Amino acid sequence: MPRERAEKVIPLVIVPAGPLDPHHVQQALEQLVLRHEALRSRILLDVEADGRWVQQVLAHEDVTGSLAVFVPVTTGAEVRQHARSAPLPVEPTQEAVRAMICIRDGVVCLLKISLSHVFTDAIGARAVENDLRALLARDGVVLPPAPQASSFARGPADPTVRANTERWQALLARAPRTCTFAPASRESHERVEHAVLPLPAASTRGLAAFCEGSGRPASLVWTAIGSALVQILTGQCDQVFRSTYGNRTRPDSLAAVAQLAQATYVPLQGSACDSFRNRLDMIARAVLPTYRLGEYDANALLDWLNAPENARGTVFQPAFEMNYVPPMPGDAAERGDPVSAETYQSWMRIDPLAGKADLALSITHEPDPVLLLSARRPLALHRGAEQLAQDCLQLLRALITSPDSRIAVSGVSRLHTLAGLTPHHSGAMIDLEAIERMVLSVPGVRSCRLSIRRCGEACSVHAHVHGRNFGGPENLLSLLRSRQRWHSGCVVPDSIDLAR
């Protein structure tokens, strides 16, 4: 199970177009759970399988009794408050889904569902919503048989999974290990800024026309926008971006409620002289072959990237994340009120080893395109999510109107946080004083002097350390690795000379 997935839920909010009987809604939910084994699952540690997490499918009657909670409401304001409130938490060791049914004047006025991200991805959530709307539409509806999650299951020991993992390792062997937006220390939980921006109609039409004329899908165009934004903000043209692949190649897979999506990390080799068209073509060449790689062991890949012999002195972190959710066949035409532009904040648990980016772009269709931009610190400390979303919109306009113009002259301003920092061969922009402070924070280190050696446009860092009681250089390097992951703009020195 990927490290960051256990606490994440996918929320669904359904506002009935007409009156619905609470008993009918309860029956529809029970039919839904009976239909999909993923919705009556939980995870548990299997002591007989080396302590690995395994999925257990529960009997129908063991789930439906605690599936939904009924909440009486008396005003429209209460309904809106429940619709906008935080999603219901789901504990995947106990359940896969929770539902809240709001009742006003004896009829259902709001249905709010949380799906554990352990058991389904966004495409599976769409299947849940479409099935539920069909079940709510009328009594006695008969849906075609649904493909089950178990028919897609493959473990990390599967030969194909192992081979695909090795292919990803080879692809990322020479790629940058990180991208620095600003030097900063990280916390175990951090505030994240979010901006929701529906695309203006002119941009939507312009994007559709550009995609039709260029033959490039919108998903690659938005990836080019993310890549261009990172280049302008940081000056880094060689990047790795994180995305999510559906792994839904079987004809019946779009109807499966299952967690088939995986994070993938695609290296991009850009140039400071690139035009938007150059960058888009390069992204197409980089991305399209990875679609054929298939399922792999995500945890094993991250462990490999963060192993000392591969890490180049820094914990692996992609430059940005790009997720594109296209309109799916069978999507409900009505999804409630139109999405409005807004900003909000949330708290996120930070796991430096999880391979998450500090800048994330997501495109959904409600039914028109909507950009959700999320910015974690240190980026959010220096440019807010709302401004970053507007930067993306400006870059989109530049791409679709002047695709042969250079990215560097698009009018978006660079961050001022990297002045005075030094490019490192890991991809990081490093603060030598911060690295020195990190070394001196190890008990027993009395003094530290750093020197750098140029290797092309980047450098390596070497530390001359005086101290005792922390073991030899290898032990000191190990202690520094555990500290470095919490410091953006720092790297573990490439070598250490120890004087006692």
CB count within 10 Å of CB 314 equals 26
Q: Which amino acid is at 351?
A: D
What tokens does 385 get?
A: 């999510």
What tokens does 315 get?
A: 């914990």
Domain topology for 9-148? Chloramphenicol Acetyltransferase (3.30.559)
- If one compares 151 and 197, the residue with the highest pLDDT of the two is 197
pTM of the model: 0.84
Highest averaged pLDDT of the listed ranges 11-20, 135-144, 196-205: 196-205
Give the pLDDT band (50/70/90) at residue 330.
Answer: low
**Weakest mean pLDDT among 286-290, 365-369, 395-399:** 365-369
Given this model, what pLDDT does residue 17 score? 86
Domain topology for 422-499? GMP Synthetase; Chain A, domain 3 (3.30.300)
- If one compares 338 and 56, the residue with the highest pLDDT of the two is 56
Residue 99 has pLDDT above 90, yes or no: yes
Residue 5 has pLDDT above 70, yes or no: no
Residue 334 has pLDDT above 60, yes or no: no
Give the pLDDT band (50/70/90) at residue 250.
Answer: confident
Sign of CA dihedral 102, 108, 112, 116: positive
pLDDT tens across 42-71, in order?
Answer: 999 876 666 678 889 998 777 766 789 999
**Which residue in this structure is represented by tokens 């961050």?**
415
Q: 159-409: same fold as 9-148?
A: yes
Give the span between the Cα atoms of 209 and 133, in whole angstroms: 33
Domain ranges of the chain: 9-148, 159-409, 422-499
Give the span between the Cα atoms of 288 and 283, in whole angstroms: 8
CATH (one of 3.40.50.670, 3.30.559.30, 3.40.50.1820, 3.40.50.970) for 159-409: 3.30.559.30
3-state secondary structure the chain: CCCCCCCCEEEEEECCCCCECHHHHHHHHHHHHHHCHHHHEEEEEEHHHCCEEEEEECCCHHHHCCCEEEEECCCHHHHHHHHHCCCCCCCCCCCCEEEEEEEECCEEEEEEEEEECCCCCHHHHHHHHHHHHHHHHCCCCCCCCCCCHHHHCCCCCCHHHHHHHHHHHHHHCCCCCCCCCCCEECCCEEEEEEEEEECCHHHHHHHHHHHHHHCCCHHHHHHHHHHHHHHHHHCCCEEEEEEEECCCCCCCHHHCCCCCCEEEEEEEECCCCCEHHHHHHHHHHHHHHHHHCCCCCHHHHHHHHHCHHHHCCCCCCCCEEEEECCCCCCCCCCCCCCCCCEEEEEEEECCHHHCCCCEEEEEEECCCEEEEEEECCCHHHHCCHHHHHHHHHHHHHHHHHCCCCEHHHCCCCCCCCCCCCEEECCCCEECHHHHHHHHHCCCCEEEEEEEEEEECCEEEEEEEEEECCCCCHHHHHHHHHHHHCCEECCCCCCEEEEEC
Residue 269 has pLDDT above 60, yes or no: yes
Residue 257 has pLDDT above 80, yes or no: yes
Given this model, what pLDDT does residue 3 score? 47
Does the N-terminal peptide bond of residue 378 adopt cis geometry, omega within 30 degrees of 0?
Answer: yes
Does the N-terminal peptide bond of residue 367 adopt cis geometry, omega within 30 degrees of 0?
Answer: yes
* Mean pLDDT on 288-306: 91
Residue 179 has pLDDT above 70, yes or no: yes
What tokens does 439 get?
A: 């070394």
Give the pLDDT band (50/70/90) at residue 479.
Answer: very high
Given this model, what pLDDT does residue 53 score? 81
Given this model, what pLDDT does residue 66 score? 76
How far, in whole angstroms, is CA 44 from its chain's centroid?
Answer: 24
